Amino acid sequence: MKPDLSLCRSLLFLPASNPRAIEKARTLAADMVVLDLEDAVREDEKADARAAAVAASREGFGERMVAIRVNPGGSPHYGEDVVAVRASGADYVVLAKAESGKQVTDSAWLMQKPVLAMVETPRAVIEAAAIAPAASGLIAGTNDLSATLGLSAGAGRGGLVYALQRIVLAARAAGIPAFDGVYNRLEADEGLVAECEEGRAWGFDGKSAIHPSQLETINRIFSPGEDEIDAARRLIEAASGGAERHEGRMIEGMHIRQAQALLAKARK
């Protein structure tokens, strides 16, 4: 049985046109493998990538969840993507540049797959609350969004804070997971650690990856740590009901439920 989407920490995006990357992904610690038909694939390779994605998804990736990212609804490739994904073995379809709940609903119906909607345009950020109820999850498309907003490369994510928080808020209101965007450097360096910690602190459930070296860091940071687990256990053991003092702070029923949810995630 494949893991629950709510437990997904890492989404590894790879070009469906790259057979070596597909084969290697079967040995990696990604919670989800996303076979990309959109930006990572050249125009003259779209048809071959589509066929490769169908074949790879049917073969499967063990316990890893599998998704196929299709081209946007207005793309000339979208129709052929729909036919291919409908016949595939993918668990999810990732809809690039989703901008309305109707687009998500239509895509889910056409492809007969639950949809992870990529929020990567200003319109999508504004419409996030309408997109989320139609989707199974939201993915922040930080690169496209940064480019559209005209944010300076290398200037950090300060200009994205509002957009990212809208994505998390929309996902939480709809009761679905939200996944942070990619870290553009290939190394698992201090920048990746900082961005993962930032994303988790903002409420994201996991993060997209573009290189296998990033997976260990993403999985570790988006998993409950031993200190968190110990603290949650202490809180539950100490709680006796109502508002009370615990380890220098006030706790009540909400904090108990949070601790219980963290322990349940750690067990799974």
- Residue 168 maps to which CATH number? 3.20.20.60
Looking at the fold, whether 216 and 230 belong to one and the same domain comes out as no
Looking at the fold, whether 149 and 184 belong to one and the same domain comes out as yes
The predicted pLDDT at position 94 comes to 98
Domain of residue 13: give its range.
5-221
Looking at the fold, whether 100 and 55 belong to one and the same domain comes out as yes
The predicted pLDDT at position 172 comes to 96
Looking at the fold, whether 118 and 181 belong to one and the same domain comes out as yes
Q: How far apart are CA 74 and CA 69, in angstroms?
A: 14
Tell which wins on pLDDT, 191 or 155. 191
Looking at the fold, whether 114 and 28 belong to one and the same domain comes out as yes
Looking at the fold, whether 235 and 174 belong to one and the same domain comes out as no
Exposed (0-12), middle (13-18) or buried (19+): which is 44, by Cβ within 10 Å?
exposed
Please report which confidence band the pLDDT of residue 241 belongs to, taking 50, 70 and 90 as the band edges.
confident
> Quick one: which of 96, 103, 68, 97 has its CA closest to 83?
68
Looking at the fold, whether 63 and 176 belong to one and the same domain comes out as yes
Looking at the fold, whether 36 and 168 belong to one and the same domain comes out as yes
Q: Which of 222-244 are b and which e, b meaning 16 or more Cβ less than 10 Å from the residue's Cβ?
A: bebeeeebebbeebeeebeeeee
Looking at the fold, whether 177 and 237 belong to one and the same domain comes out as no
Please report which confidence band the pLDDT of residue 3 belongs to, taking 50, 70 and 90 as the band edges.
low
> Quick one: which of 49, 28, 14, 22 has its CA closest to 208?
14
Domains identified in the chain, total number: 2
> Inter-axis angle of helices 101-111 and 78-86, to 10 degrees?
50
The predicted pLDDT at position 156 comes to 82
Looking at the fold, whether 251 and 210 belong to one and the same domain comes out as no
Q: How far apart are CA 94 and CA 108, in angstroms?
A: 10
Looking at the fold, whether 231 and 215 belong to one and the same domain comes out as no
Bridge partner list, 95: 70, 117
The predicted pLDDT at position 1 comes to 57
Looking at the fold, whether 236 and 217 belong to one and the same domain comes out as no
